[in-house]
Structure 1
Amino acid sequence: MRRIVRNLAALVVLAAPALAQAGPSCTNQPRENWITEDAMKAKLPALGYDKIKTFKVTGSCYEIYGYTKDGQKAEVYFNPVSGDIVKSYIGG
């Protein structure tokens, strides 16, 4: 019984970082096929995002934290090949 508990505890410890960073999977394309970060940043105003506080690579996504043109908080994940929105959280 102790072995089972110990193995489960080890599994939780090993899986925790992966779960904490779990985000959407945006592409399986290699980075050489991605839109450059500067090109993606230039597209954001036309997509309705303003006052970008953070732009980063998260897994296989471009991710931003900022605001919509309406002033709502936005966390958005983009496909870095097409620039399409994969997942977004608006408001709150």
Structure 2
Amino acid sequence: MKTKYLIPAAAALVALGFSSTAYASPVCTAQPQSKWMSPEKMKARIAKMGFRTIKVFQVSGSCYEIYAINKDGRRAEVYFNPVTGAVVQNNVD
């Protein structure tokens, strides 16, 4: 009787595990932080890209991550390679 509930519960836990990996930050670099661009230099580069308002600037895994308003006035969550400054992932609302 108990195994009837165990299998669906285990399947649900596996599904939750897979869905959480979809929200993990991307891998941006394998370089150590000593090779990363300074936050000030990165913020200046981001401003030149047209992001108007940076609400959050943080290290997320191996990336610099921002929550900002882009040049079109839309909210954006963007991950950058902290060594090159290249955009790795751009999520716009």
Q: Which residue of 2 aligns with 1:79?
A: 81
Paired residue secondary structure (2:34): helix
2:31 to 29, 38, 44: 29
Gaps of 5+ in 2: none
Q: Which residue of 2 aligns with 1:19?
A: 21
1:10-66 Cα offsets, whole Å, 9 max, x none, are x86xx68x7386110000001110000111011111112111000000000000001
Q: Distance in 2 between matches of 1:70 and 1:88?
A: 14
Identity %: 47
2:51 partner amino acid:
Y
Q: Which of 1 and 2 has greater Rg?
A: 2
Gaps of 5+ in 1: none
Q: Distance in 2 between matches of 1:44 and 1:22?
A: 22
How many aligned residue pairs are there?
90
2:53 to 51, 54, 57: 51
Paired residue secondary structure (2:41): helix
- Kindly report structure 1 stretches of 4+ aligned residues shifted beyond 2 Å: 18-21
**Superposition TM-score, scaled by structure 1 size:** 0.77
Q: Which residue of 2 aligns with 1:64?
A: 66
Q: Distance in 1 between matches of 2:72 and 2:25?
A: 25
